[in-house]
Amino acid sequence: MRDGFIKVAAGTPKIRVADCDYNAGQIIALMKEAAAQGVKVLALPELCVTGYTCGDLFLQPTLLDGAERALERILEETAELDLLTALGLPVRNTNQKLYNCAAVMHKGELLGLVPKSSIPNYGEFYEARWFASGRNCDEEDAVWLCGEWVDMSPRRLFNCYTLPELTIGIEICEDLWAAEPPSGALARVGATLMLNLSASDEIAGKADYRRALVTGQSARCVCGYVYADAGEGESSTDLVFSGHNMIAENGTLLAEKRFSTGLTISEIDVGRLAHERRRMNTFAAPSDGVVTLQFNLGLTDTTLTRPISPTPFIPSDESRRGERCEEILTIAALGLKKRLEHTNAPCAVVGLSGGLDSTLAILITAKAFDLLGRDRKGILAVTMPCFGTTKRTRSNAELLAQELGTDFLEVNIGAAVKQHFADIGQSMETQDVTFENAQARERTQVLMDLANQRGGLVIGTGDLSELALGWATYNGDHMSMYAVNASIPKTLVRHLVAWEAHQRGGAIADVLRDVLDTPVSPELLPPKDGQIAQITEDLVGPYELHDFYLYYAIRWGFPPRKVLRLAQRTFGGRYDRETLLKWLNNFYRRFFSQQFKRSCLPDGPKVGSVALSPRGDWRMPSDAAAKLWLDELEALS
């Protein structure tokens, strides 16, 4: 539960129709198994105490009395379990109406009853024959159950006061199929985790629809969603129940089982959901009579089993990666296309170094020209060798321009930089930040002036990772007239260039693959034995770590301890804790100190969920202090 993670489960017990005592034993065993595995919230199927397929037996008091006795037994035998459980049973009120209910319990205490609102009146199981809708039940509709008066209302939330971000709402099967599922209203007033107690029969193709409903509703409500389905033991007179259990979070399916009994387990990150809710105004509405009840779970560490990608910016679904790459490239190219059209600029000027970022920038620029129907000779690729340029990168720049069919120009800036050094009294032997940045600023001056000569635009090449770290020369490579890579992190830049190599093939693919094999470097210091002397990742840290930190620290607002915890789980086999902490410290230190560079960024298209434009996704004062974040990291050291 620490760091906002809560282990949840959907359970399907093997039952016998109308054998309530047997079913109670199976439920108790499943609850104990869940508790032993660290589960804190468990959803069990609709009417699992009796079985969903009892038919007219639901009208028999013998069955209803048996269900109540079974519930009493379950409460008694699970009183020691620190586990909130919602299970289904039929409940009659004082007016002798019958309701299909979820009983919510914790440590032997019955916290409340939530009746099903949407009662189906079609198909083989015509529930309206036996059950009334609980839509209009409210706090005054208490029922006598298990020796006590228990509130029964669909407008109930259950909040954990040891983990305030965990607020649970309940809906039952058909409620999810309704035009306005109860989960929508419950999410608006605070539910971050929805439990659905279901008995959905299985027919060919229905699983896809059911899965889409669950994942879609979890996305719409920005919540976790646990769907527990009836399975083996239900009557097969006319239908089969598959136990299709699912756990989803904000549109992502975390775990799923079908055609089996037992537990389906994962972890919901309610801290992440709470952060997303804070970013939105959608979740602010009148309470509409919703009452929140409190319960307490012991605060423990949650063992994580949910998938955590080491490359969160790269599509995880391999079957759709190509589609996503084309989508990203097209979005970026369309942004540039619009800017070229709006300014009537006949030319695009790209500083082509032979490195990864400028390679992606010229590929995007070529795509924009193709979309405009223009000759790629309108693209001027400029290579500007200086003190740190190697033959490898110089050659790759020229080859790439040649293969793309762009115009190409070499401007050696060495003499101009030396003259500038003489003007300001900078020694060639002093290879400090001035030595490096003078080259970057000279290159930008050349590009800007060439663009002025041709009535064109300078296309920026800096990527999102560099912007996060401030790894750019202010008013050097930091500046352009349109920055096509500005929301593309380094790991994704690499992935996109690799995709282009795969798609294109031939000589251009050979060039792109060599660019991919070239160490990332600004090439501002003289080579050693003809090889690149300045390796960026040796200086600022591995980009795979910084992109991971950027995604979780900025996109999801995770505190440093949580980012470190996820990094240890994800990269623990490759980096020790000390190394992860070192580069995480560097990330926060640089992110805060370099905001001034992001405050005056040129325009550029947003292609993903993280961007640092001062006009859009990220508003931060340039002099904000990093002390709170660095102090937390210091305490973790």
Q: What is the mean pLDDT of residues 459-478?
A: 96
| Residue 262, pLDDT above cutoff 70 | yes
pLDDT category of residue 446 using cuts at 50, 70 and 90: very high
Give the pLDDT score at 141. 76
Measured between alpha carbons, how far is 383 from 401 in angstroms, rounded to an integer? 10
Give the pLDDT score at 530. 82
Sheet holding 457-460, edge to edge: 407-410, 379-383, 348-351, 457-460, 482-483
pLDDT in tens, 383-431: 999 999 999 999 999 999 999 999 999 999 999 999 999 999 999 999 9
Region of 123 please: left (phi>0), alpha (psi -120 to 50) or beta: left
Q: What is the mean pLDDT of residues 625-637?
A: 96
Contacts of 299 (CB under 8 A, 6+ apart): 1, 2, 162, 163
Residue 169 corresponds to which tokens in the numbers above?
Answer: 């709402």
Give the pLDDT score at 286. 61
For residue 600, indicate whether it is catalytic.
Answer: no
State the chain's mean pLDDT as an integer.
95
Residue 465 corresponds to which tokens in the numbers above?
Answer: 């990772």
| Residue 454, pLDDT above cutoff 70 | yes
pLDDT category of residue 630 using cuts at 50, 70 and 90: very high
| 104 closest CA partner among 152, 61, 36, 64 | 152
Q: How far from each other are the two terminal CA atoms of the chain, in whole angstroms? A: 22
Residue 455 corresponds to which tokens in the numbers above?
Answer: 């009535």
| Residue 76, pLDDT above cutoff 70 | yes
Q: What DSSP assignment string belongs to 365-422? A: HHHHHHHHT--GGGEEEEE---TT--HHHHHHHHHHHHHHT-EEEE---HHHHHHHHH
Q: What is the mean pLDDT of residues 571-585?
A: 96
pLDDT in tens, 299-327: 898 999 999 999 999 988 888 889 999 99
Contact (CB, 8 A) for 353 and 393: yes
Q: What DSSP assignment string belongs to 97-116? A: -EEEEEEEEETTEEEEEEE-
pLDDT category of residue 123 using cuts at 50, 70 and 90: low
For residue 173, indicate whether it is catalytic.
Answer: yes
Contact (CB, 8 A) for 555 and 615: no
Catalytic residue among 101, 173, 325, 347: 173
| Residue 53, pLDDT above cutoff 80 | yes
Burial 339-373 (b: 16+ CB within 10 A, else e): bbeeeebebbbbbbbbbbbbbbbbbbbbbbbebee
Contacts of 282 (CB under 8 A, 6+ apart): 188, 222
| Residue 287, pLDDT above cutoff 80 | no
pLDDT category of residue 138 using cuts at 50, 70 and 90: confident
pLDDT category of residue 532 using cuts at 50, 70 and 90: confident
Give the pLDDT score at 417. 97
Give the pLDDT score at 116. 96
Give the pLDDT score at 318. 81
Contact (CB, 8 A) for 255 and 230: no
For residue 116, indicate whether it is catalytic.
Answer: yes
Contact (CB, 8 A) for 373 and 408: no
pLDDT in tens, 180-219: 999 999 999 999 999 999 999 999 999 999 999 999 999 9
Measured between alpha carbons, how far is 356 from 536 in angstroms, rounded to an integer? 12
Sheet holding 156-160, edge to edge: 252-257, 245-249, 224-229, 193-198, 167-172, 156-160, 291-295
Give the rounded percent of residues in the chain with a pLDDT score beyond 90. 88
Catalytic residue among 40, 54, 68, 116: 116
| Residue 35, pLDDT above cutoff 80 | yes
pLDDT category of residue 523 using cuts at 50, 70 and 90: confident
Question: Residue 12: what are its φ and ψ, rounded to 5°?
Answer: -125, 105
Catalytic residue among 7, 20, 46, 171: 46
| 507 closest CA partner among 400, 420, 387 | 400
Residue 183 is inside which H or E element, if any? helix 182-188
pLDDT category of residue 125 using cuts at 50, 70 and 90: low
What pTM value is reported for the model? 0.92
Domains of the chain (ranges, CATH numbers): 2-295 (3.60.110.10), 318-636 (3.40.50.620)
Give the pLDDT score at 94. 82
